[in-house]
Amino acid sequence: MSIARIRVIDLETGGNGANDVCELGWQDVVLCDDGDWVVNEERGAVFVNPGRPISPDMMAIHHILNEQVADAPYWKDIAPTVLRPGGGMSALAAHRAAFEQRYCTPRLTGGVPWICTWKCALRVWPELPRFSNQMLRYQRMPEGLVHEIGLPAHRAMPDAYVTAHHLRDLLNAASLKQLLAWSAEPGLLPRVPTGLHRGKGWDRLTTDVLNAFLQDRDIDVRFTAQTELSKRGEIEHQDHIEPLQKAFL
């Protein structure tokens, strides 16, 4: 890690294809000499030509029009200039980073590690009722977040700017190493998200119920159930849970 700088990334897309990015936004978070992480002035956004029309469903979310991206660069040409800035980075970050990682492949990023602010927020602020980027914004009201810069929502730079304030506070609550470790695991859910036991803390569930959750389709649910069972000494903790796709084919 060559520099204490983390670039928060947010993407808007025109569809679900591998190159369907239509906007790329970023905001940097840097480590100061006094040991505190801060959101600096390095932010921006660029339109990206997805190579095919943006779907109406996606337009209804971000309101980016085809004519706005018609003359923009293609993803493979513009992405490295933002994802691999001069001076290097400690990591890239995004809220629910798995989405951005679908497009920001190691070939484009240089293989730097990722922080998922959603996964880390689950760990640091488990008492909160919801963990979307915008709900965290209004539940927590991060210090220094300029309301107007964080608007409109569902555009790349404003969303990256909001996420960066969550990241700053997470980094000032836990180490960079710890955030990277949490981000490499599935999400540790504070409460059961759906079903008969929705809203319950995992410590309130019986061992039989927890064992049933080990077969859930959701990797975060399985991981959380396994972690609770491990705390009770019911099973040996595993470092990684594989997806269950094969079991459902």
Q: How far is CA 5 from CA 101, 119, 176, in A?
A: 19, 20, 11
| Dist. CA 126–CA 120, nearest whole Å | 10
- Residues 106, 157 within the same domain: yes
Q: Please state, rounded to an integer, the average pLDDT across all residues of the chain.
A: 93
Average pLDDT over every residue of 191-213: 97
- Residues 178, 207 within the same domain: no
Which is higher by pLDDT, 241 or 104? 104
Q: How many domains does the chain have?
A: 2
Asked whether residue 209 is assigned to any structural domain, the reply reads yes
- Residues 114, 27 within the same domain: yes
For 38, the domain range is 5-183
pLDDT at 1 over 50: no
- Residues 24, 82 within the same domain: yes
Query: Binning pLDDT at 50, 70 and 90, where does residue 234 land?
Result: confident
pLDDT at 213 over 70: yes
- Residues 172, 62 within the same domain: yes
Helices assigned H by DSSP within 47-140: 56-62, 66-69, 75-83, 97-103, 106-109, 117-124, 133-140
pLDDT at 222 over 50: yes
What is the reported pLDDT for 2?
42
- Residues 218, 111 within the same domain: no
- Residues 16, 81 within the same domain: yes
Helices assigned H by DSSP within the chain: 56-62, 66-69, 75-83, 97-103, 106-109, 117-124, 133-140, 156-171, 176-183, 207-213, 219-231
- Residues 117, 239 within the same domain: no
What is the tens place of the pLDDT at every residue in 31-64? 999 999 999 999 999 999 999 999 999 999 999 9
| Dist. CA 120–CA 187, nearest whole Å | 8
- Residues 28, 140 within the same domain: yes
| Dist. CA 180–CA 139, nearest whole Å | 24
Asked whether residue 148 is assigned to any structural domain, the reply reads yes
The enclosing domain of 21 has a CATH number of 3.30.420.10
- Residues 176, 233 within the same domain: no
Asked whether residue 196 is assigned to any structural domain, the reply reads no
What is the reported pLDDT for 242?
55
